[in-house]
Amino acid sequence: MNYGERPFESIKEFAEKFNFKDGEVTEEVVDYRMSLLTEEYQETVGAHMVGNAEELVDGHIDLIVIAMGNLEIFGVDAHEAFNRVMVANMSKVLGKRRESDPEGKSIMKPEGWVGPDHSDNHGELDRVYDEREREAAITEARAAVERALEGSEGVRPVEPRLLFEGGSGTS
């Protein structure tokens, strides 16, 4: 089988084979998947630094596999996201050469350039980040209650989580 001919499908098969999508996508899952990407990036840069062509090539492919796997696990349609990015990228233009560019090419965003819109293709990420905001709001509300009650004896504190969940806030 030549997996390179169908990379998106290959990533889906890999994720299914190892049951990567069995659990709920949580912030901890996203953190872990991002740490894998960071680790592989560091290894790839390290391969470049020591002049190891084999590991540099392997590292680039591993970065693609991890990144595409992340999108699969997060429930993002990678085909659609890739297409939108490429449509936007193909509308860029060759710009003035930058001193730091040894190839003499500088791809630039022309006036009025519009980047890709993935707002309808975030998979589970919106839910994960909504939960993060909710937890941050609860933590802040708890701190505010504690500050308000400093020096007040005999007052029952309000549990902010219950307010967010539609409860009365008192126990």
Residues with Cβ within 8 Å of residue 43, at least 6 apart in sequence: 55, 59, 62
- pLDDT digits over 82-134, tens only? 999 999 999 999 887 677 777 767 888 899 999 999 999 999 999 999 988 88
> Residue 20 corresponds to which tokens in the numbers above?
């990567």
Alpha carbon of 134 to those of 91, 117, 123: distances in Å? Answer: 38, 25, 19
Question: What pLDDT, on the 0 to 100 scale, is given for residue 155?
Answer: 55
pTM passes above 0.85: no
Question: Please, what is the average pLDDT of the chain?
Answer: 86
Check: CB of residue 56 under 8 Å from CB of residue 50.
Answer: no
Q: What is the CA radius of gyration of the chain?
A: 23
Pairing of strands 107-108, 93-94: antiparallel
Q: What is the crossing angle of helices 27-49 and 125-149, to 10°?
A: 110
Q: Locate 163 and state its tokens.
A: 């307010």
Provide the residue type at 55 as one letter: E
- In the chain, the percentage of residues whose pLDDT exceeds 90 is 57
pLDDT of 25 reads 95
**Percentage of residues of the chain with pLDDT beyond 70:** 87
pLDDT, mean of residues 46-61: 97
Domain boundary assignment for the chain: 3-76, 83-121, 125-164
- 4-18, 28-42, 102-116, 143-157: the lowest-pLDDT one: 143-157
Give the mean model confidence (pLDDT) for residues 12-19. 90
- The answer to whether 134 and 165 are in contact (CB under 8 A) is no
Give the model's pLDDT for residue 168. Answer: 46
Mean pLDDT, range 58-82, rounded to an integer: 96
Q: Give the pLDDT confidence of 143-165 residue by residue, as tens digits.
A: 887 777 776 665 555 565 555 55
Among 137, 93, 127, 97, smallest CA distance to 111 is for 93
Q: What average pLDDT does the segment 64-73 reach? A: 96
The pLDDT of residue 164 is: 56
